[in-house]
């Protein structure tokens, strides 16, 4: 699978999907009448936000979470994993782990939020762990992408034949 998502056409597709899905959240936020639960760092903040929302806003946020925010970690996480797999060389088996982990953590966070938006907020307290973990893994994976691209550039410069 990682060999497939590291191909050029896959990376371009994942990049475009990441941009388009990211942009779509502005419409979800408008329909939800304010900040989305994804950007709130704790279960307490999420519960307070849930109280502020009416039924239509919760429904719009629910569908945004189930559709948009399920596709989003697959797109950006796949993009990060594909870039790392393609450019990190021998380190790729270890470097790719945060990119794969952020997908799982983001989807787990989405599940707790979808449950809360549909009336069962018993697991929303997991946001205290899941949201910081998601953002931490996201930024770590993005940093590793930059390192991987830098390593690829260094390898390319070192392997360049000497000028005649």
Residue 164 lies in a domain: no
Long-range contacts of 33-39 (CB under 8 A, 24+ apart): 33/57, 36/61, 36/64, 36/65, 37/61, 37/65, 37/113, 37/116, 37/117, 37/127, 38/65, 38/69, 38/109, 38/110, 38/113, 38/131
User: Structural domain tally of the chain?
Assistant: 1
Which phi and psi (to 5°) does residue 101 adopt? -65, -35
Residue 163 lies in a domain: no
Please answer whether residues 4 and 54 qualify as being in contact, where contact means their C-beta atoms are separated by less than 8 angstroms. no
Please answer whether residues 124 and 38 qualify as being in contact, where contact means their C-beta atoms are separated by less than 8 angstroms. no
| Structure-block tokens of residue 164 | 């005649």
Share of the chain above pLDDT 90, in %: 80
Residue-number span of the structural domain to which 76 is assigned: 2-158
Residue 122 lies in a domain: yes
Q: Each residue of 25-42: pLDDT tens digit?
A: 999 999 999 999 988 878
86: number of Cβ within 10 Å: 21
Supply the DSSP symbol for 126. G
Residue 15 lies in a domain: yes
Q: Each residue of 40-56: pLDDT tens digit?
A: 878 889 999 999 999 99
Residue 16 lies in a domain: yes
From residue 16, alpha-carbon distances to 10, 69, 113, 115 in Å are 10, 15, 26, 29
Instruction: Quote the CA–CA distance of 23 and 75 in Å, as a whole number.
Output: 13
pLDDT mean values, one per 10 residues, the chain (164 residues): 90 98 96 91 89 94 95 97 93 94 97 94 92 96 96 89 73
């Amino acid at each position: 699978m990682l060999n497939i998502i590291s191909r050029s056409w896959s990376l371009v597709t994942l990049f475009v999907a990441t941009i388009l899905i990211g942009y779509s959240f502005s419409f979800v936020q408008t329909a939800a009448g304010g900040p989305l639960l994804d950007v709130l760092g704790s279960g307490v903040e999420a519960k307070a936000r849930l109280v502020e929302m009416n039924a239509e806003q919760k429904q719009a946020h629910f569908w945004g979470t189930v559709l948009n925010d399920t596709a989003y970690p697959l797109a950006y996480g796949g993009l990060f994993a594909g870039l790392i797999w393609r450019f990190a060389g021998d380190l790729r088996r270890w470097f790719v782990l945060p990119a794969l982990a952020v997908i799982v953590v983001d989807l787990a966070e989405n599940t707790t939020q979808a449950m809360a938006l549909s009336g069962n907020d018993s697991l929303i307290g997991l946001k205290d762990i899941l949201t910081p973990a998601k953002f931490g893994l996201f930024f770590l994976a993005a940093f590793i992408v930059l390192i991987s691209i830098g390593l690829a550039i260094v390898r390319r410069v070192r392997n360049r034949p000497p000028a005649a």
